[in-house]
Amino acid sequence: MTASGDFRYYVHIAASMGDRPQPDGPAIRWLDNQHTVRARWRALVTARQDHLRGAQ
């Protein structure tokens, strides 16, 4: 589904969540700049990880 371009942004979100380099290919047009979007997705992941560590 991501190869066709319909859901290509999922790959970019996953890369941001994993703090990985963004894939090559057509740029995704976000509402905010790439740094802000990446930081938000990464913050969601780290907050969830912290929450899960606290629940143990």
Number of structural domains found in the chain: 1
| b/e map 1-34, b = 16+ CB within 10 Å | eeeeeeebeeebeeebbeeeeeeeeeeeeeeeee
- The DSSP 8-state label assigned to residue 19 in this structure reads T
pLDDT confidence of residue 3: 66
Sequential pLDDT tens for the chain (56 residues): 566 667 777 888 888 888 888 777 666 677 888 789 889 888 988 999 999 998 76
pTM for the structure as a whole = 0.56
pLDDT confidence of residue 43: 92
Q: Residue 49: inside a domain, yes or no?
A: yes
Q: Residue 3: inside a domain, yes or no?
A: no
Q: Residue 2: inside a domain, yes or no?
A: no
pLDDT confidence of residue 56: 65
Structural domain including 38 reads: 9-54
